Amino acid sequence: MNTIAITGASGFVGTSLRNFFEKYGYKVVSIKREILDDKIELQNIVSSSQIVINLAGANIINRWTKEYKELLYSSRIDTTSKLVEAINSVETKPKLLISTSAVGIYDNKDTYTEDGKFADDFLSKLCQRWEEEAKKAQTKVSIFRFGIVLGKNGGALAKMITPFKLGLGGVIGSGNQAFSFIHIDDLLNAYKFVIDNNLADTFNLTAPKPTTNLGLTRALGKALKKPTIFPVPEFVLKLIFSEGAKVLTDGQDVVPKKLLDLGFEFKHKDIQETVNSLV
């Protein structure tokens, strides 16, 4: 039986991955925080796992105080560093490490494939550092740059759906900011695709047709048959999230060129069918 070890296994994506891969007969092991601080235990887990999936990281949508930025950094970089150190120090190494990153690595000036131009801000530098750390692993490494993951039981949609259900939804800021997203089912299938084909590369995990915040708002209104006339002004978000508001007001326009070129089939290609399947 093949074993997959996962950091950040208790989150929305981690829980979904566990349920998904167990259905395919994999044994899924959770690398909890205390295990990361136990070198021997961590080495035991990685040496007996064929695949390691690194998802750990504090929630990016939050108020970015100085302390919280430090937590965003340490929960990603330090975790990845400990994981890589364990992989590099064992004789029997996992076949593949799949580490997470985000489309926030890119600037918002254009539509980008995996070769897109990086931004020069906190989030992009955090992603760049995160990727660099993962690539130090002495085994095959794939990097998954997530768009906003949309699913039923958690993630971004769970946080934003209530006002829309009440008819109080609306655009954020101008509504023109790009919104690159992926349906949770496509995300899970992409993991399976990369594992089955033993691929080492950097992949954008986003639906083939990115939208805008306005596109998302309209899709939600249509699916729920509710008006979407209550915009959220940018300054309100800045009051709540400070610099962290950028995640909501400043999106990236990203396409999954490498997955498409390899023949990966997305089930949910655009925002309307994605939202329709989830609400």
What confidence category does residue 238 fall into, taking pLDDT thresholds of 50, 70 and 90?
confident
Query: Model confidence over 5-14: pLDDT tens digits?
Result: 999 999 999 9
Q: Taking the complete model, does pTM exceed 0.85, yes or no?
A: yes
Note down the domain range covering 201.
3-215+219-278
* Span 237-242, average pLDDT: 84
DSSP 205-262: ES-SS-EEHHHHHHHHHHHHT------B-HHHHHHHHGGGGHHHHS--EE--HHHHHT
Among 156, 202, 208, 155, smallest CA distance to 180 is for 208
Query: Model confidence over 34-82: pLDDT tens digits?
Result: 999 999 999 999 999 999 999 999 988 888 999 999 999 999 999 999 9
Strand partners, 102: 146
How many Cα neighbours within 13 Å face the side chain of 79? 25
Q: Token digits for 15?
A: 């829980």
In contact, 88 and 136? CB cutoff 8 Å: yes
Cα angle: 131, vertex 134, 138; to 5 degrees: 140
CATH at 117: 3.40.50.720
CA 246 from chain centre, in angstroms, equals 16
Query: Model confidence over 177-229: pLDDT tens digits?
Result: 999 999 999 999 999 999 999 999 999 999 999 999 999 999 999 999 999 98
Task: Provide the pLDDT for residue 248.
Answer: 81
Cα angle: 115, vertex 265, 203; to 5 degrees: 25
Counted domains in the chain: 1
How far is Cα 134 from Cα 122, in angstroms, rounded to an integer? 19
Taking CA atoms, 176 is separated from 94, 172, 191, in Å, by 43, 9, 31
